[in-house]
Amino acid sequence: MKKKIVFSGIQPSGNLTIGNYIGVIKQWVKMQEIYNCIFCIVDLHSLTQCNNKLKLDKTILDTLALYLACGINPNKSIIFVQSHVSEHTKLSWILSCYTYYGELNRMTQFKNNKIKNKNINSGILFYPILMSSDILLYNTNYVPIGEDQKQHIELCRNIANRFNKIFGNIFNIPKPCILKNGSRILSLQEPYKKMSKSDNNSNNVIYLLDNKIDIFKKIKFAKTDSEKNPKIKYDIIKKPGLSNLLNIFSGITGKTIKQLEKEFYGKLYIDLKYKIIKILSIFLERIQKNYYNIRKNEDFLKNIIFEGSKKANKIAKKTISKINSKLKLY
Ligand code: AQP
């Protein structure tokens, strides 16, 4: 039987976080053993941040080295850079003509951005269409994502269904893969919002390249709650900070929340924090050792991108050629 296709990507907009790892990269590592996986470094998406300080040539290689250090294997998966395959932007324009403005305007991520920024660029509005193009170009079956991207996949499915209704079965309808726990790792100091690599307060975030001292400080002072008789019990509504720590623990060790509640029964929050500091330090030290080894070899990294882009281009061109013939765009 033909293997199912997985597509997923991360913006090369800075240091990857433990949220990116637990939410998606960990899933990728497992999925590459079962499916045909395509992992993209979505540089065009990161242009929406209009951050002219971003040195994309460098951050793309940093991101790739982190993918590999976490266990993504270029011999098993296609790894490439979004802007190296021009079909993404072409399909994006075509799909935008089959997407209603109201649909884009209703996206929560767009609405949140509108509240935060006065001068919002239209790339942020169109972001879900570019994301849909990324996915649909590769006949994707499964898309591993964090919780925050769920609405974008629903939109992608709607656009694909709408297009298929008009032009016949062009696109597979992709399904999101969202973890039960760990699909939304929260900020350490403000545990009502997502942990984000672009957060201005670095104490909110555990980066994959954080050193042991930073891990210690950030976890030790992570916000919890001030219950009178504090119990280590998962409750994301009443105890978001503590529950977030349990999700991080579970995401790194593979232990279930129930197992952790049992293990820490009758113990103090600080006991849990010290244990997380220990397991995170060991875990990240291993990734960092791999990372610094791999990152030194730029020719090796560039070759992976070159080979990956060649393979991605081939698949993308086939899809676009099907669409061209349906739309009579020769
Ligand atoms: N905190 C998180 N918990 C679980 N999953 C997460 N993801 C991101 N943060 C968390 C998932 O990682 C994938 C790649 O994300 P992205 O970098 O392309 O964009 P993002 O969702 O905007 O992530 P950030 O860290 O918040 O990036 P910035 O700060 O650059 O905007 C996605 O599947 C995402 O769900």
Identify whether 194 is part of a domain.
Answer: no
Q: How far is the CA of 146 from the centre of ligand 1 (A)?
A: 7
pLDDT of residue 230: 84
Residue 183 lies inside a defined structural domain of this protein = no
Whether 304 and 276 share a structural domain: no
The DSSP call for residue 14 is S
Of the residues 7, 11, 192, 193, which should be mutated to test ligand 1's pocket, given the most ligand atoms within 8 Å of the CB? 11
Radius of gyration of the chain (CA): 21
Same domain, 207 and 234: yes
Residue 38 has phi, psi (to 5 degrees) of: -125, 115
Tell me how far apart the alpha carbons of residues 245 and 247 are, in angstroms, rounded to a whole number.
5
* CATH number for the domain harbouring residue 234: 1.10.240.10
Decide the pairing of beta strands 36-41 and 5-10: parallel
Structural domain boundaries enclosing 302:
5-178+298-327
Ligand 1 centre to CA of 165 (Å) is: 32
Provide the pLDDT for residue 228. 76
Q: Which residues contact 113 (CB under 8 A, 6 or more apart)?
A: 120, 124
| Co-location of 305 and 238 in the same domain | no
Q: pLDDT value at position 14?
A: 65
Q: What share of the chain is helix, strand, coil (3-state, %, to 5)?
A: 55, 10, 35
Q: Is residue 188 part of a domain?
A: no
- Could you tell me if 250 and 307 lie in one domain? no
Return the best residue to mutate from 10, 124, 131, 177 for the ligand 1 pocket (most ligand atoms within 8 A of CB).
Answer: 10
DSSP assignment of 183-246 equals SSPBPSSSTTSB--TT-S-GGG--BTT--HHHHHHHHHT------SS------TTT-HHHHHHH
162/32 same-domain check = yes
Whether the Cβ atoms of residue 212 and residue 283 lie closer than 8 Å to each other: no
Into how many domains does the chain fold? 2
59 with 158, same domain: the answer is yes
What separation, in Å, do the N-terminal and C-terminal C-alpha atoms of the chain show? 34
Give which of 89, 98, 175 is closest to 130, Cα–Cα. Answer: 89
**Whether residues 120 and 76 fall in one domain:** yes
The residues lining ligand 1, judged by C-beta closer than 6 Å to any ligand atom, are 10-11, 13, 17, 19-20, 23-24, 145-146, 148-149, 183-185, 194-198
Per-residue pLDDT of 276-297, as tens digits, reads 999 999 999 999 999 999 999 9
Q: What is the CATH number of the domain that holds 124?
A: 3.40.50.620
What is the pLDDT, as a whole number, of residue 198?
84
- Going edge to edge, which strands form the sheet with 36-41? 78-81, 36-41, 5-10, 142-144, 175-177
In this structure, are residues 209 and 59 in contact, taking their beta carbons and an 8 Å threshold?
A: no
Shared-domain flag, residues 143 and 211: no
pTM as predicted? 0.95
| pLDDT beneath 70: ranges in the chain | 14, 50-51, 53
Phi, psi of 250 (to 5 degrees): -65, -40
pLDDT in tens, 97-155: 999 999 999 999 999 888 888 788 999 999 999 999 999 999 999 999 999 999 999 99
